[in-house]
Every structure is written in C-alpha cells, then in structure tokens.
Amino acid sequence: MEENLHQQDNLDDFVQKSLDGYEEDPSPGMWNRIEGALDTPAVQVPKSPGLTTRWSGNIRHWWSVAAAVLFVMLGWAGICTYYERKIIALEITISQSNSSQKALSPEIAAKVTQKVTELMAEQQHRGDYQNTVPPANAPENAVIIPKKTQKSIPKTGGQEYIAKPATPVNDRTNHQILDAKAAQKTINAPLSVDAATAGHHTAEVTTQTINNQAPNRQTDRATVPALQQNALQSNHHTPDNDPLTTPDNNTSTVVATHESGAEVTTPVANLLQSQPAETASKKIALEQLPGSSSLLQVPYPAPSAVPTLLPVIRPNHSGSDWYAGLRFTPGFIKENTTEKPTRPIERPVNGPRPARSTPVFVNESKKINAAAEWGLIFGKKINRYILLETGIAFTNLRQESVHQARFKFLEGRPHNSPGSGASRFDFDCNLNTYGGSAAVSLRMEQVDNSARIPATEPITVKITTNQYTQALKVPLLVGITFGKGRWKGVLKAGPEGYFTLSNQLEVNLLSSLNTKFQVESGKVPQLVFETTRRFSLGYRAAAGVHYRLSRHWSAVAEPVISGTFAQTDHLKQELPGIISTGVNLGINYHF
Amino acid sequence: MEYQPEIQACIRGERLAQQRFYERFKGKMFALCLRYANSREDGEDMLQDGFIRVFRDLHQYTGAGNFEGWVRKIFVNTALQHLQKQKRDLIIVELSAYEPVEEDAPFYDTTQPAAKQMIQILQQLPPGFRAVFNLHVLEGYTHPEIAEILGISPGTSKSQLLRAKAHFKKLLDKSLIGN
C-alpha cells in the first residue's frame, strides 16, 4: 500500500482505486431492524434540508423571525396610531365642551364688547400711537407696547414716579414685549415707593423673570404722576379677585400704557386672548376700566365674535411620550416540571426497541439556576395612565437538571459485544426539557454475571444534564402607571415571543441506583436531541417603580416574572415550559 | 428497466421483495455510509435510515437515469443529514468519570484490505472535512455543487477540501509510520 501511495501522486486516484467496488456487509440483524422500523407507524420527521435545500431551511427560519418581528412592529404602530387618534378626538371633545360651558355670560360678553368698541373709538380719536405688528419672536400671548409711549413722561406738581416695567423682552424693533406670565407677575409684584427722594417719590416696580426668554436691556424709566399712583395700584387685579379672569394661569394679561406714560397692567385682556388667530394689534383707551384711564394696545378678537374665556384644556399628559431604555435582568429560571408524564414517541437510538420494551419518560427534579437577560425596550405613554412597551432581549440560559430514569430489566435490549464477558443491555429513555426532547440510550452492565435477574427488576439511573440555550425575547406589554412627582409605580403585563437561537444538551453524569447493574464504564450514552420549536409564546408581567432623574432620564426597578407555555418539539412531543423570575434594572430615555 | 419488477413489488410493500432489494444493495450502500460515518454503529444507523427512505420514496423514481445512482443519491443525502444533525444536535459526551475504552480495531491494520483502512482513516477526519472529501473525491461533485449541498461558498469548499486532503495525508503517513 505504501508503495502504491508513492507510485501515485494523485491522492484522489489512490483513494478512489482503494475504495473502488468495495462492499461491506452490515451486522446480521440489520434487516430485522429495517423491517421493524418499516412496521412501526411512520413518524412525522421534520423536513430536513437535503441536497438541494440545505440553505432554504436556515433562510426560512430567519425569514420567519423577521416576519414575526415585523408583525409585532406593525401591530405596535397600529395600536399607537389608533390611540393617538382617540386622544386627539378626546381633546377636541374636551375643548368644545369647555368652550360651550365656560363662554362669557351674556352680560359680561356684552360689557366686554362695548368696552372694546369704546377703546377702538378712543384709539382712533387720539391717533398718537402707531400701529404695531407683532414681531416674529413675540410670545404667543405677548402684548405690544410702542416704546414711544414709555418716554413721554410728563411731570405733575414737581413730583414724579419712576417706574421700571418688569423684565420686558425687547425685540429689535421699537417694541417692548411682555409675555403673559411676565405681565401677570408684574401685576402681582409689590410696588415700592421711595419717599426719601426730595420732592419726588420714586417707585420701582420690581418683578421676576419667569419666562424662558432672556430679558434684554431695559433701563427705560417712566415717570408717573403722583396723582396716578392710586390708579396704578388699583389697576393691579389679581386673578382671584377679578371676576373676568379665568382660573387658568396660562392666559395673557394686558399691559396698558398709562396716559401719562407709565405702564399699567391688567388681566382684563384675558378676556380678549382666547382667539389668537383672529387678533389684531390695536390701541385702546381704558378710561372706563376700574382705576385707569390708560391706553391699551391688545390683541383681541373681532368684535362681532363673543370671545371665549378659557383656552383649550388639554390633558396633563401630551399623549405622545415615547421612550427607550436599556434593561439588565438578573434572575432565576426553573422548568415547569410535568409530574404526569405522557407516553413518549418511539425514537430508537440504536434500532427498534424490543416489543416488550416501553420507552421511559423522564422529567423530574429540576434545579433552579441563575439566568441573565439584556434588553432594549421601546415604549410610549398613551395617556397619563396607560403605556405600551415592546423591545428585544437576549437571554443566555444554563439549566442543570437531574433526571431519574426508571426501567425494568425486561425493557433492556441485550447488547453482545465481542470481548465482553459481562451481560450488557441498552436502555432507552426520553429526557424532556424546555429546550427539546432527547432520546437517550444508556448501556448498563450486570455487576454479577452469574446472578439471575428477574424480568421486573427495577433499574434506576440518575442522569444529570446541562442545557445551554440562547434566545431572543420580544415582549408586547400593556402597562398602567400611577403616582405623582418623581416616583411612579408601573404595572405591566403581556405576551412575549421567544425565539431560540441555539440549544444544546449535555449529559454530565450517570450513576446507577441499582446494585445489580451499573453504567458500563467507558461507554458514553448515545443521545439524539430534538430541539424545541424555534418560536414559542410566553408571557411576562412586571411591577415596579420608575424614578425620574431628570427631564429625559429615569431609572427603573421592576420585579418581573416571565415564562413560556408548554410547547412541543418537531415530533409533537409535549415539553415542559420554563418560568423565570428576576428584577428589571435599567434606565429610560424620554424623548 | 433492470429493477422494475422488484421496484413495483417493493412499492406494494411486499416484504420479501424489499428484503431482496436490501440484500442486493446492502454491501455497496453500507460501504458508502461507512465513509461518512463516525463509526460502524453510526454507519448502520445511516444504512437503516437510507433503506427506509428508499422504500418510502421508491414510487418517486420515474425510471429516468441509473437506478443505482438514484439509490446512491438517497444514501448520500441521508448520510449528510446525519452529519448535519450530529453537528447541530447530536452530542455524544465523553464522561470524565470514565476512561475511554478502545472497542474498535487498531487504527491501521495491514492485514485488512486497503479499502477498510481507507474508511478507518476517513472516519478520523472531522465531519466537515469528511463530507467535502467524500463528495468531491468519491462522489464526483464539483465545488459549486458541494457549496449548494452543504450551504457553504465554493471558496470554502475548495479550502476545506485542501485542508481535508492535507489532514488525510497526515493521518495516512502516521498510520504507515506506525506500522
């Protein structure tokens, strides 16, 4: 042979010629095995990729995963869209309801309309103020005051008051802008009068900036005649006192320019601010308003329309609160052991089982093992209380299990191996785990060959296995939030898709609990592992707390329980489910 | 066709005809299975599955082409599926508590026919190498065909074959030196 090998440079030819026409007979009992297998009812074997379809199996698998993920995402989007529309409809309904319920009473509306008409007439009569157009950067509820008015400060009786309007926002034009809240603050600010000034009383209206726009330089001073001080102070209505003021703080306030040049403010303009789309900037006299004869420049609705007191009342929550987060979930897993075994499917490992033999189902004494899960979640708050959440999580499970296979001696299959003096028997059993079902053939040998073993002699073998599973989980949860402030409680529950990525089973230890039989030394068990279906359905529920760290970030701690329902492998063999408990730890980013 | 009456009898499920069919092909097909198998037991499993599949699918044989080639292809498919299943699911664990016992014959025995020695060397190859080596050298498949069968790229098939041949030569040299 060595000579032949050196003579032939081509290894292919050498091997081909060596094997050409070679035939070898199998064991004598081979035909009996085949005949026995032909006699047994056909078992539905999963279609395995053959010569031409080897790839298609993998592709089909990943396509099914992709389709499932897409299905979940589309479902999620559909649910969100549906609730979004419901919320919008609800807002419109609330808005209409408020408008109809809280419109001005006829008497007040008539009074306001009359006042507006008078103010307009007065404005036209005086004509000493230029019409202004709101600048582009003006806040929504801004009141426009021509600067010109602030500088025309007459002196009366040798006394003057110097008033500093509170934190106005200047635009680049000749306008001074106060937003609604700033103006309101101006009203409520204390007015201090410095009487120490000889011959003059100097008053400064000090306020705080409460709007987000940075106040620009504002050093303009307006001298207010002393006689007008009372009028100025009496013009400081508070929302609580003014019957025309709405309870909503988010309304505008008129900043009126006093006839003598000082600024006064009044929330009366609240009445006029409810329809900003139809407003125009006008100069209006305010003599008839209590405590003031000032001119007023306010946006107001068309006189023909009765203004609505309240703006649209929106829900406290925006309804479009998306968030994403990272999760780490340490925990424990345990199989849901089926204590009442069913008869397993005949799956001979080393040929057909003898007619007297019955396969043994083994599934018990599962240990609890540690597990971990890493995930990425996406969620949306539908309203103040309801949220939807999905995501994807990777889990790596290692489950150590202890099985006890109980046979009877008659169930053993005699195994005659040359050179072996002992009587050896193969015992077949099925190990069912959440990851699949395994057909195992254990070779046992008789300790004392001369001993006579009764057919019903019980033979128990302890089998320890390790199962390694990697899986992706896709939950679809509906949640309820409750609580106020930074702490919020959350309850979530829903179905969870479970995609098995890899699945392996190892037999680690065998030991016989019978003194007459022992596991044959040096012989490894033969094991055919039929993995569970790639996709299975489970459940997930969590209850925990969210702590708002900042506007965008929150921390999460949620005890969680999840699991899979009982499932089947490719051969329809029923398999136990799995249950895991742990704590979701993570952070959320709120968009 | 040479086997037509026998085929029809097998399709009808006549056990005697099926046994004759088995007797006719068992030697060749078992030799084929042994080339893909890890052991003789493994080869017998392949042989059993192959015959069951042949009897099940016999009605699909249309008469076109060589019947023995058709049967052979089924056995190759079966053997590859066994390899694939071993790679993915079949885990035969060496228990650390037990010392391995060599039940098989010596690695290379000059008293045995060359073919048997070749098969024993083939069985020492890793399953991936063994599959590519068998398909290319002994079954005559091209690299694109092997790539399609095994779900790998043609380049991978070529490189696997080169490595398989190198491994095979090394094993062969080792066995020759040992003897």
Domain stop point among B96, B127, B156: B96
**Which residues of B, range 86-125, sit inside 8 Å of A by Cβ?**
89-95, 97-101, 103, 110, 113-119
Chain A residues inside the 8 Å CB shell of B56:
42
Distance from CA of B129 to the nearest CA of A (A): 14
In this prediction, residue A360 has a pLDDT band, given cuts at 50, 70 and 90, of: low
Q: Are residues A290 and A320 in the same domain?
A: no
Q: Are residues A355 and A409 in the same domain?
A: yes
For the ranges A134-138, A188-192, A508-512, B121-125, which has the lowest average pLDDT?
A188-192
How high is the mean pLDDT of chain B?
78
Q: Are residues B12 and B83 in the same domain?
A: yes
Q: What is the CATH number of the domain that holds B137?
A: 1.10.10.10
pLDDT tens for A298-348 read 444 444 444 444 544 444 444 457 889 999 998 888 876 654 444 444 544
Q: How many domains does chain B have?
A: 2
Contact present, B61 and A483 (Cβ < 8 Å): no
Give yes or no for residue B21 having a pLDDT over 60. Answer: yes
Type of residue numbered A70: L
pLDDT tens for A137-151 read 555 544 444 444 444
Q: Which of A420, A266, A346 is nearest to A571 (CA)?
A: A346
A451, with CB counted inside 10 A (0-12, 13-18, 19+), is exposed
Give yes or no for residue A393 having a pLDDT over 80. Answer: yes
- Helix B67-88 / helix B15-36 crossing angle, nearest 10 deg: 50
Q: Are residues B139 and B161 in the same domain?
A: yes
Q: Are residues B52 and B126 in the same domain?
A: no
Of chain B, the percentage scoring pLDDT greater than 70 comes to 81
If one compares A585 and B107, the residue with the highest pLDDT of the two is A585
CA angle B14, B19, B24 (to 5 degrees): 130
Chain B residues inside the 8 Å CB shell of A417:
103
Does B116 contact A24 at a Cβ distance shorter than 8 Å?
A: yes
Q: What is the CATH number of the domain that holds A501?
A: 2.40.160.20
Contact present, A183 and A208 (Cβ < 8 Å): no
Contact present, B112 and B43 (Cβ < 8 Å): no
pLDDT tens for A34-70 read 888 777 654 433 433 333 333 444 556 667 777 777 7
User: Does residue A400 lie within any of the structural domains?
Assistant: yes
User: Does residue A554 lie within any of the structural domains?
Assistant: yes
Q: Are residues A333 and A292 in the same domain?
A: no
In this prediction, residue A532 has a pLDDT band, given cuts at 50, 70 and 90, of: low
Q: What is the ipTM of this complex?
A: 0.80
User: Does residue A110 lie within any of the structural domains?
Assistant: yes
Q: Are residues B140 and B73 in the same domain?
A: no
Domain stop point among A276, A300, A324: A300
- Which domain covers residue A575, as residue numbers? 316-590
If one compares A182 and A126, the residue with the highest pLDDT of the two is A126
- Which domain covers residue B175, as residue numbers? 104-179
Q: How many domains does chain A have?
A: 2
Give yes or no for residue A96 having a pLDDT over 80. Answer: no
pLDDT of residue A575: 74
Chain B residues inside the 8 Å CB shell of A530:
89
Q: Are residues B90 and B13 in the same domain?
A: yes
pLDDT of residue A198: 37
What is the Cα–Cα distance from A219 to A378, expressed in whole angstroms?
A: 51
Q: Are residues A422 and A567 in the same domain?
A: yes
Q: What is the CATH number of the domain that holds B83?
A: 1.10.1740.10
Q: Are residues A446 and A328 in the same domain?
A: yes
Q: Are residues B168 and B144 in the same domain?
A: yes
| DSSP conformation letters of A527-562 | EEEEEBPSEEEEEEEEEEEEEE-SSSEEEEEEEEEE
Q: Are residues B44 and B81 in the same domain?
A: yes
How high is the mean pLDDT of chain A?
64
Mean pLDDT, rounded, for A534-563: 88
Tokens of A245: 């003021």
Domain stop point among B46, B61, B96: B96
Q: Which residue of A has its CA nearest to B92?
A: A526
**Which residues of B, range 7-66, sit inside 8 Å of A by Cβ?**
15, 18-19, 22-23, 26-28, 30-31, 34-35, 41, 43-45, 47-48, 51-52, 55-56
Interface mutation target, options B18, B48, B103, B136, chain A, most CBs of A under 10 Å: B48
Q: Are residues B2 and B82 in the same domain?
A: yes
pLDDT tens for B61-119 read 877 778 888 899 899 988 888 887 766 543 333 322 233 333 333 334 444 557 888 88
pLDDT of residue A231: 41
Q: Are residues B75 and B16 in the same domain?
A: yes
Distance from CA of A83 to the nearest CA of B (A): 46
If one compares A351 and A173, the residue with the highest pLDDT of the two is A351
Does B93 contact A52 at a Cβ distance shorter than 8 Å?
A: no
Chain B residues inside the 8 Å CB shell of A19:
31, 35, 115, 118-119, 138
Chain B residues inside the 8 Å CB shell of A525:
92-93
Q: Are residues B54 and B79 in the same domain?
A: yes
Domain stop point among B96, B131, B150: B96
Chain A residues inside the 8 Å CB shell of B124:
none
Q: Are residues A471 and A439 in the same domain?
A: yes
Does B91 contact A19 at a Cβ distance shorter than 8 Å?
A: no
